[in-house]
Structure 1
Amino acid sequence: MNRMEQVFKNGKAFIPFITAGDPDIETTERLVHGMAEAGADLIELGIPFSDPVAEGPVIQAASSRALAGGVTTDSIFAMVRRIRKTCQVPIAFMTYINPVFSYGYDRFLENCEEAGVDALIIPDLPFEERGEILPFCRKYGIMLVPLVSPTSGSRIETIAREAQGFIYCVSSMGVTGVREHIGNEAEEMVNRIRKVTDVPCAIGFGISTPEQASRMAAFADGVIVGSAIVRMVEQYGADCVPHVVEYVRMMKHAVSDIY
């Protein structure tokens, strides 16, 4: 069994997101270990980018801090290699097509395999254009995770039929960020996906509280949280690890508690 098959094997998955290199690469490394021990089923690592179009102000600011601190894609690969010596939690890179294109598709995906990255999420890569990177993902055994949103319309079923690993369901319109209210669009998307595939669905964008996580986990296979954690990292800086670990433990309990 590969690491991605483990993510949804033991019930509902909790998937935290952090920006790699915020506040520094050493803290990111400690966060990955801490979140894994706290029950995270998959960890999303954002590769900082100067124009993260899908992100709200919290994660945009985290990208800016990481880039100002000198983090590079190569330093992130090196960090994952170190993590893999003692930790086997599945890891997905969340990035944009421009940094991957600039790095070189073949070189980037080869490094993903060599470092121990399991999946790739690219919010600004249209489904219809995935063909330019998919051959390299297959060559190196990296899963390309598709995204669907309330605006995907009739394409939802088409995207779902081709999906591997899991489907990232964007809960609502707009960019990432904490929301007080999350509508019913996500549940409707999951119901449509269920009719054409049994590939797991994870809900992201806007979830921050245990109550929201529990509600999403009632109909989805996993819950993704980013901005609420990144805000904690911003607040506490290098001292953020125990705060984030406690939050992850609480959220994992919330998604598991629906049983």
Structure 2
Amino acid sequence: LGIPFSDPVADGIIIQKANLRALSSGITLKKCFEMLSIIRNRYPILPIGLLTYANIIFNKGVEKFYIECSHISIDSVLIADLPIEESKYFYKISISQNINPVFICPPDANENLIREIALSSKGYIYLLSRSGVTGINKYKEKSLKSVIKQLKKYNSAPIIQGFGISNELQIKKSLLSGASGVICGSVIIKVIEHDLSNLEKMFLNLINLVKILKNATK
């Protein structure tokens, strides 16, 4: 689940617009935590991972942010604009609150970076399909088998591939390369954007899309 932010530098236009819609409707971090609490109470064993940006956490106060996440039993936090080299303070507090710190692995990571990510990322690793930002635009197909193999060499957490994955073929290729799962954000948010004025149609189209994407993993 993403926390809306005014400058989502890792995201493409679809998710950028979703952030702006949320902020213009009056969403705040406090309201996000209130919603998360409702979700957690309704689904006590559902894994919940957050994707956010460092500025949001700094503004709240790093310790306060993770303590509140802990109170709601958030499972993991991924900070999209935080390089692993600058993550020690966040990492220490995250671990102290029993929250999995998640790191992004770029497709061109060298051996040292792969090792550091594999040993530090808990819960899962977010493996990028390509460089750039999120989106459903076509990306140049590149085998990630070597990167996945190197991550697993260090007994890494499950590897989840994202960025540009929006159809069944891409999902199947990702899993065949050794990934444990995929992230399909922009293609889902695009449905929400398209049907904002018709909630019944939106939910129906979301259900149908998610079923198609999920079936591709079987």
Provide the TM-score with structure 2 as the length reference: 0.92
Is 1:255 matched with 2:204? Answer: no
RCO higher in structure (CA 8 A, sep ≥6): 1
Q: How does 1:25-40 map to 2 (within 5 A)?
A: none
Counterpart amino acid of residue 127 in structure 1: I
Picking from 101, 115, 130, the partner of 2:72 is 115
The number of residues matched between the two structures is 212
Is 1:208 matched with 2:166? Answer: yes
Counterpart amino acid of residue 72 in structure 2: A
What is the CA RMSD across the aligned residues, in angstroms? Answer: 1.4
Point out the more displaced range, 158-167 or 56-65: 158-167
Is 1:171 matched with 2:129? Answer: yes
Q: Which residue of 2 aligns with 1:63?
A: 19
Picking from 183, 194, 199, the partner of 2:157 is 199
Compared CA separation, residues 242 and 113, structure 1 to 2 (3 A): farther
Q: What displacement does 1:159 show?
A: 1.6
Q: How does 1:67-82 map to 2 (within 5 A)?
A: 67-82=23-38
For structure 2, the residue ranges without an aligned partner over 5 or more in a row are none
Provide the TM-score with structure 1 as the length reference: 0.78
Per-residue CA deviation, residues 142-164 of structure 1 (Å, 9 max, x unaligned), is: 11111110243231122212221
Contact 1:186 1:203 in 2 (8 A): no
Counterpart amino acid of residue 172 in structure 1: R
Q: How does 1:75-154 map to 2 (within 5 A)?
A: 75-87=31-43, 88-154=45-111
Is 1:233 matched with 2:192? Answer: yes
Contact 2:130 2:139 in 1 (8 A): no
SS at match of 1:199: coil
Compared CA separation, residues 85 and 158, structure 1 to 2 (3 A): closer
Q: Which residue of 2 aligns with 1:159?
A: 117
Contact 1:50 1:64 in 2 (8 A): yes
SS at match of 2:87: helix
Query: Identity of aligned pairs, percent?
Result: 34
For 1:230 and 1:186, locate their aligned partners in 2 and report how far apart those are by CA, in whole Å: 26
Contact 1:202 1:222 in 2 (8 A): yes
Q: How does 1:178-189 map to 2 (within 5 A)?
A: 178-189=136-147
Compared CA separation, residues 138 and 161, structure 1 to 2 (3 A): closer
